[in-house]
Amino acid sequence: MKRKILILYAGGTIGMQASEQGYIPVSGFEQLLREQLRVGATQQLPDFEVQELEQLIDSSNLQPSHWSELSEQLISQWRDYDGFIILHGTDTMAYTASALSFILQGIDKPVIITGSQIPLSELRNDAQDNLITALILAGNYDIAEVCIYFNGRLLRGNRSSKLKSTGFDAFDTPNYPWLAQVGIHIDLHPNLLQAGGSPEFLDKGYQVPDFNPDAVVVLPVYPGLSARVAQDMLNHSEVKGLILLSYGVGNPPDANTELMSTLEQAVQSGVTVLNITQCLQGRVSQGAYATGATLNRIGVVPGSDLTLEAAFTKLHYLIATQPAQKIAGLMQQSLCGELSE
């Protein structure tokens, strides 16, 4: 029996066309795709249907509310398909892949997000291979997690980052091996995959989280960072989480005691302050240096090897769904393969 896959087009370069202002998303993706597929190609592919979101976006305009919208689309049709592909812009694809991994925890089917650097409508594009291979993966392999497929790599969604702005090999997971390499053969590594479950959202009464876009802020550490800048960010009562992007293994400029006490006051007022590293690879070891140990003393939560995208969306997800006192503990546990404990 052929599997049936839903392709959900949310926007992004893959379905864009050139305009006088530059590339813009346009509707009509299904027609374009069916025109481009060679006669007979569809017989070799799983059955698929294409749906478009009402508002197609350049993913630079992504808002946390889009994660709720996308999840609702998937959840309401979960029993009707064997797998799901989301066509998404590359700029914020890793944020959406991470967010959906938390919202859709415990899934029993593949959700593969893909897109392209060159639109499907152009002759020399990476769109066709990305989409066709994503379809083959979703239609023929037992995958039960949110992934990104891009340029021969199947990646865990919540470990992914966009590392190249123009290369076809734009995505990678610097702290986790690829789930599959695609060349002449498709080498899927089942030992690296999440075990399939039975998703909680199939229970009646499940509510997709409603995200407050002001709840999480990001503060990169840089030479000269002042307490004033941090305080300005924290001045809004809706801020419930702050991600500190520190140096190396999690080191802040602790000689700035005013900055440290601003962070400490934030922790004491109930803001979750999470420490992740600016480095692309490796993890936080908060206490390897005396500078980092200062953060332990003031109650900052170490974020292990979370990517910024996973840290940001996980914090949003926990703030939207959990009581405040549980957040620090859950941030340090792996919920769906997003960090190394």
Q: Which residues are catalytic?
A: 13
Q: How far apart are CA 157 and CA 149, in angstroms?
A: 9
Indicate whether 15 belongs to the interface with ligand ASP (CB under 6 A).
no
DSSP string, 99-159: HHHHHTTT-SS-EEEE--SS-TTSSS-SHHHHHHHHHHHHHHS---SEEEEETTEEEEGGG
Sheet holding 180-182: strands in order across? 47-57, 4-11, 83-87, 111-114, 146-150, 153-156, 180-182, 186-188
* Residue nearest ligand ASP by beta-carbon distance: 89
Nearer to ligand ASP among residue 89 and residue 337 (C-beta): 89
Shortest Cβ 75–ligand ASP spacing (Å): 24
Strands (E), 228-288: 241-246, 272-277
Indicate whether 13 belongs to the interface with ligand ASP (CB under 6 A).
yes
Choose one: 52-60, 106-114, 256-264, 302-310; the region binding ligand ASP (CB under 6 A): 52-60
Q: What is the 3-state secondary structure (H, E, C) of 184-237?
A: CCEEECHHHCCCCCCCHHHCCCCCCCCCCCCCEEEEECCCCCCHHHHHHHHCCC
- Whose CA is closest to 312, among 235, 180, 221, 213? 213
Nearer to ligand ASP among residue 266 and residue 308 (C-beta): 308
Tell me the residue type at 292: G
Which residue's entry shows tokens 């400029």?
253
Q: Tell me the Cα Rg of the chain.
A: 21
Shortest Cβ 329–ligand ASP spacing (Å): 34
Residue 220 forms beta bridges with which residues? 245
Choose one: 7-15, 40-48, 126-134, 277-285; the region binding ligand ASP (CB under 6 A): 7-15
| The only residue of 12, 15, 199, 252 in contact with ligand ASP, by rule CB under 6 A | 12
59: tokens are 């993913």
Indicate whether 89 belongs to the interface with ligand ASP (CB under 6 A).
yes
Q: How many of the other CB atoms lie within 10 Å of CB of 100?
A: 24
How many residues bind ligand ASP (CB under 6 A)? The answer is 11
Residue 280: φ, ψ to 5°: -75, -30
Indicate whether 254 belongs to the interface with ligand ASP (CB under 6 A).
no
Nearer to ligand ASP among residue 95 and residue 211 (C-beta): 95
Shortest Cβ 118–ligand ASP spacing (Å): 9
Site for ligand ASP in 114-173 (CB under 6 A): 115, 117
Shortest Cβ 162–ligand ASP spacing (Å): 9
Nearer to ligand ASP among residue 157 and residue 252 (C-beta): 157
Choose one: 54-62, 222-230, 232-240, 243-251; the region binding ligand ASP (CB under 6 A): 54-62
- β-strands 180-182, 186-188 pairing: antiparallel
| The only residue of 47, 58, 108, 129 in contact with ligand ASP, by rule CB under 6 A | 58
Choose one: 27-35, 87-95, 284-292, 324-332; the region binding ligand ASP (CB under 6 A): 87-95
Positions touching ligand ASP (CB under 6 A) are 11-13, 58-60, 89-91, 115, 117
